[in-house]
Structure 1
């Protein structure tokens, strides 16, 4: 009949179900806890006995253990086939759960401040850009440090891995390139909240180098706008123009692009000069420095 009337079956049954009165919602309870567990050889052990064993552990060797380690003891000492979820439930019933451990913040988060940049080496931005090696089917990483005032890429790391230790290395390298390693005043370095940037290793290095590290709030890439703009440039003018067949090729092409970016590529925001040309022109007094509000 539905075929003759050219009506879809799903449409018909949806109409029928809507036209019928809604039945009272039935709330079904989950499966009841069995009240026992089994040993490795199949012997049933009641929850009451398991609870007694837990209390014995807490009074002795397991006094400082949580439910996960208590589960290990039950398996080892009494050969129980039991999971940590059940041990958690039993401990909760007996009110013997240890309080959740509170993580100690070693380095309090410093939020990015509004700043007016009037010269080089006042504010650096750092971030990570992914690239794709199609010939090898894998990603590579580009981590850069960019000077907000002159737009130059001070230094960078290209690799198949990108860890906090690489960030520390390029930060030290950037200070040496700008001859700031032994200076009292160093640039503020700004980043997002990626794992490399919030690591204790990097924060310890910043403290040792006497550098201020500030992080932008989540979902505010505009606070890191200059390096984000640089990433869009390298995506459009480098990554999209090349199909990398190997990682060495990607390394060579991207490295050459960054050199050309610093020395040759002109920027409309800095008098149509390249970053290096603008920095030198400001140094010689040939152009008026542009203030940047971030």
Structure 2
């Protein structure tokens, strides 16, 4: 698709990578473009390597593209991992405080971020500043985005964003101006889609023990429980979850549980019991 634009941002957990991807998706949808976002993250609170890929088009888009027009890397590992993800005529912007021998545009993210209390947490704001410059947004539009999407420490975030915007302006400004769509688009996550489908199908009860990436199903349904008359239970373990769901289903309630790999491994005996007793339950195995 000729009008596809892809933004990739990478760094350590705790540096605002996922948030930057989410903000980018909202930027694209706000100007009427279709969006597909994919987040890749390790099971770590800090460190490791996380990245977010956001592809956008004026037409229907059903997946992300790994060849990115703009790649923003916060650390050396991200640079090494994503050098092959740059599209023809693409731009790579990297943290020059952590990497120097890169064929791209160096920005002293660490030096600038250390001037503020939130320090590395502000890297994501810097990525949005770079993106705004590349797609032709003015500073006023950038500041409005920061105010809306980064409400904590607004003044510092705006100051940092403007600094990064100015640093990359001569190299990046309006490199990939985006065609705008006819109306603002709504964004929905995969897990929210699962929730809405379950509710539409008559869901009565949902049981879960938090395990990424299924946790947001629990959070969404808990927020909507009163609106749709749902029983949403955060149980003490995965074993309790599957057995509670079986008990509810035995009484005739439409029951669903959500978990991921290791959590599902703890449910297998209860899951087998569902098969033996022909008790219908829905298990979301999130990956």
More strand by share: 2
Give the TM-score taking structure 2 as reference length: 0.26
Give the TM-score taking structure 1 as reference length: 0.25
Larger Rg: 1
